[in-house]
Chains A and B, each alone.
Chain A
Amino acid sequence: MASQADAPSQLAAPTASPLQRCQYALISGLTFCRRYPVGAVGGVLLVFISMVAAFAGLFSPHDPLYVDFLSLGAAPSAQYLLGTDYEGRDILSRIIYGGRVSLQVSVLSVLLGSTIGALWGVASAFLGGRFDIISQRVVEIVMSFPALVLAMVLLVALGGGIWTVIIAIAVTRLPYGVRVVRSVALSVKELAYVDAARAMGASNFRIMAKHIAPQCFAAYFVLATAHLGAAIVIEASLGFLGVGITPPTASWGNMLGGVIANTYKPIWWLVVFPGLAISITVLSFNLLGDALRDALDPKLRGR
């Protein structure tokens, strides 16, 4: 997996027509699956997890908030496949709906953080000068907080709720976007065709949007995938510490937090299943992310 130095890194060459790009994407998709079976497995798992989360209503056997007061803390059975919690709610349904929340939070926060970060990185690289220096300082400052602690500070300040969690996690992802994309943009900036565009009188914005940003897409894509797993873990940690998504809305983190805070010999299915859900999802993100990174940008390996 690590020896594919010849992986197709020249995706989306600037001269390719839309049709060629499509063909290329299809071929490279198939090539990807053949060359990176492990990554493909991660991808398939993710598709499955996302589908279940997206169509939670179809997949979950019960209402995640429904209290079955005759089955409080019931062990896994035919009726409740993964058992119920102390409030008599179905664990499986809560994991499915919780997954929806966790995925929503991680995807949106990474999208938000990485995109703003990437745009900022492009601007920073292209404009250079004082803007670049100040940007680098700001990024450094944000990066000098442990992500979890920074997210906690923001959450306490902004108050609870799914959007504040998204924003808080997005802020912690922002500097990575700036850094990685800026470094790519810096090298692209020096390429001849950018000079050519400039010579032809293109505006700064146009050069950034048309010529530099597309070249940074591979790096951005790899980066975003790599951070999805981290975002899931941060969300879960916040929920566990009681500052994330507030009950009764299920999230993988607050399912675990409640258990530990409430009982000293917890029933095992309350502890094991949400943790497994987190681990499997993060694992899938990592597998896919690694493969994508190897495929798209060997230079980024190890970052």
Chain B
Amino acid sequence: MLAKYIGRRLLYSIPGLIGITIIIFLALRILPGDPLAILYGEGGRENLTAADIAEIKRQLGIDRPLYIQYADWMKDVFTGKMGESFWRGDSVSELIIRRGPLTAEIAVVAVLVSWIIGLPVGILGAIKQNSMADYISRFLTIIFLAVPSFWVAILVVVVSLLAFNYRPPLGIIQIWEDPFTNLQIVLAPGIVLGLATSAYIARMARTTLLEVIRDDYVRTARAKGLPERLVVLRHALRNALLPVLTLSGVLFGLLLGGSVAVETAFTVPGLGTALVQAFTERDFVVVQNLVLLYGIIFVFVNLSIDLMYAVLDPRIRYD
């Protein structure tokens, strides 16, 4: 029954993914400017004849009808090639393989931080409702919800340079090559992003926990004389966690988007900076594939959260 449910959920996500590809494809085909001018640099285009330009367009495949270009792209995506950078001729899938791990690490650090900080703060607020600790945590939550993470990132970068004469290592160093150097690259952006997300988690955890605590079975447990801490941990928390989990999935989109700006502020050579660079270079092959990747990741993260939900919460009906 569960397997059937999973299968159906997977099936449902397919039209969504196709829709994503169509939106990206169409949006990027109305770009202004002549991409050939970028390709051939300052003054280079003047030396090309009309025939040369036609030939180059043919080689790049941008002279064909849109639907064929789209079909080609889909073919590339399914074969995992994802085409080549319009500007540098480098394989986009290689780019993703090289830069993806950094962004993935940042996302993992951010999610961990958001839970490690957000959950205890939220729980504390709920247990000690209207205490001083609750007020402080709520105040901080509200502040962190308002402060844009990229600005915090800028402040961290500037302060660490001015005060400690420090900047993170250059280049892409993977965690399996040199964990210490790698962590210097990913930790700070991960924590900055995580702090921003932790505020949402804390608020959600507090609210749901407060609701659950008022529910009957918790009251029963409490009436049975179980210690308060145990009541919260054993009964209330489990049920309160599910909405937080769902929120985490929704927040993942915020996190992916935020990582673009935070990576840029920290000059981390991850997917986010690659995306920004591709945007400024109008490299639509890179842009369309990276944006697609972001969409796919988001869809699958939320799909797996839904499935986790189904496993964790027996009340969910599989239909």
A contacts B directly in the complex (CB < 8 Å)? yes
The interface-forming segment of A57-65, A182-190, A196-204, A275-283 is A275-283
- A138 with B19: CB separation less than 8 A: yes
Q: How far is the CB of A256 from chain B (nearest CB, A)?
A: 7
Q: How far is the CB of A68 from chain B (nearest CB, A)?
A: 25
B148 interface neighbour in A142, A149, A275, Cβ under 8 Å: A275
* Cβ contacts under 8 Å, A24 to chain B: none
A-B CB contacts (within 8 Å), total count: 145
A156 interface neighbour in B31, B129, B264, Cβ under 8 Å: B31
A260 touching B147 in the complex, CB below 8 Å, given contacts A147-B257, A265-B162, A271-B158: no
Q: How far is the CA of A283 from the CA of B282 in the complex (A)?
A: 35
Q: How far is the CA of A156 from the CA of B287 in the complex (A)?
A: 10
Task: State the main secondary structure of chain B at its contact with A.
Answer: helix
- B275 with A149: CB separation less than 8 A: yes
Interface flags for A170-198 (1: CB within 8 Å of B; 0: not) read 00000000000000000000000000000
The interface-forming segment of A75-83, A85-93, A214-222, A229-237 is A229-237
Interface flags for B189-222 (1: CB within 8 Å of A; 0: not) read 0000000000000011011101000000000000
B142 interface neighbour in A242, A259, A283, Cβ under 8 Å: A283
A144 touching B257 in the complex, CB below 8 Å, given contacts A157-B30, A240-B264, A283-B143: no
* Cβ contacts under 8 Å, B258 to chain A: 146, 148, 237
A141 touching B19 in the complex, CB below 8 Å, given contacts A147-B257, A271-B154: yes
Q: How far is the CB of A109 from chain B (nearest CB, A)?
A: 16
A275 touching B31 in the complex, CB below 8 Å, given contacts A149-B275, A156-B279, A241-B261: no
Q: How far is the CB of A99 from chain B (nearest CB, A)?
A: 15
- A149 with B151: CB separation less than 8 A: no
- B146 with A279: CB separation less than 8 A: yes
The interface-forming segment of B46-54, B59-67, B292-300, B309-317 is B292-300
A153 touching B155 in the complex, CB below 8 Å, given contacts A229-B146, A279-B148, A301-B207: no
Q: How far is the CB of A20 from chain B (nearest CB, A)?
A: 33
- B155 with A237: CB separation less than 8 A: no
Q: How far is the CA of A235 from the CA of B74 in the complex (A)?
A: 32
B16 interface neighbour in A137, A146, A236, Cβ under 8 Å: A137
A146 interface neighbour in B146, B162, B256, B287, Cβ under 8 Å: B256
Q: How far is the CB of A280 from chain B (nearest CB, A)?
A: 8
Q: How far is the CB of B31 from chain A (nearest CB, A)?
A: 6
- A144 with B27: CB separation less than 8 A: no
Q: How far is the CA of A275 from the CA of B254 in the complex (A)?
A: 19
- B148 with A233: CB separation less than 8 A: yes
- B299 with A241: CB separation less than 8 A: no
* Cβ contacts under 8 Å, A259 to chain B: 154
Q: How far is the CA of A77 from the CA of B71 in the complex (A)?
A: 61
Q: Which residue of B lies closest to A266 (CB)?
A: B158
- A144 with B146: CB separation less than 8 A: no
B291 interface neighbour in A143, A153, A280, A290, Cβ under 8 Å: A153
Find residues 19-38 in chain B having any chain A CB closer than 8 Å to their own CB: 19-20, 23-24, 27-28, 30-32
- Of the listed residues A142, A236, A240, the one surrounded by the most CB atoms of chain B closer than 10 A to its CB is A240
Q: How far is the CA of A287 from the CA of B203 in the complex (A)?
A: 13
Q: How far is the CB of A89 from chain B (nearest CB, A)?
A: 20
- B148 with A278: CB separation less than 8 A: yes
A302 interface neighbour in B142, B208, B282, B295, Cβ under 8 Å: B208
Is A159 among interface residues, defined by CB-CB distance under 8 A?
Answer: yes
Q: How far is the CA of A302 from the CA of B202 in the complex (A)?
A: 11
- A256 with B151: CB separation less than 8 A: yes
Q: Which residue of A lies closest to B24 (CB)?
A: A153
Task: State the main secondary structure of chain A at its contact with B.
Answer: helix
- B256 with A149: CB separation less than 8 A: yes
- B282 with A145: CB separation less than 8 A: no
* Cβ contacts under 8 Å, B261 to chain A: 148, 237, 240-241
B154 interface neighbour in A149, A260, A265, Cβ under 8 Å: A260
- B254 with A286: CB separation less than 8 A: no
Q: How far is the CA of A194 from the CA of B243 in the complex (A)?
A: 32
Find residues 150-179 in chain B having any chain A CB closer than 8 Å to their own CB: 150-151, 154-155, 157-158, 161-162
Q: How far is the CB of B151 from chain A (nearest CB, A)?
A: 4
Q: How far is the CA of A146 from the CA of B23 in the complex (A)?
A: 14
- B146 with A145: CB separation less than 8 A: no
- A145 with B291: CB separation less than 8 A: yes
A144 touching B298 in the complex, CB below 8 Å, given contacts A156-B282, A157-B30: yes
- A146 with B154: CB separation less than 8 A: no
- A145 with B20: CB separation less than 8 A: yes
- B161 with A265: CB separation less than 8 A: yes
Is B6 among interface residues, defined by CB-CB distance under 8 A?
Answer: no
Query: Which A residues are closer than 8 A to B by beta carbons?
Result: 2-3, 137-138, 140-149, 152-154, 156-159, 229, 233, 236-237, 240-243, 256, 259-260, 264-266, 268, 271, 275, 278-280, 282-283, 286-287, 290, 301-302
Q: Which 4 A-B pairs have the closest CB atoms?
A: A146-B257, A148-B257, A283-B146, A141-B19
Query: Which B residues are closer than 8 A to A by beta carbons?
Result: 15-16, 19-20, 23-24, 27-28, 30-32, 129, 142-143, 145-148, 150-151, 154-155, 157-158, 161-162, 203-204, 206-208, 210, 243, 247, 253-258, 260-261, 264-265, 275-276, 279-280, 282, 287, 291, 294-295, 298-299, 302
29 contacts between A and B (CB under 8 A): A2-B207, A2-B210, A142-B23, A146-B253, A146-B256, A147-B253, A148-B258, A148-B260, A149-B294, A153-B24, A153-B27, A156-B282, A156-B287, A157-B27, A229-B146, A236-B148, A236-B150, A237-B150, A240-B265, A241-B276, A243-B280, A260-B265, A265-B158, A266-B158, A271-B155, A278-B151, A279-B146, A279-B151, A301-B207
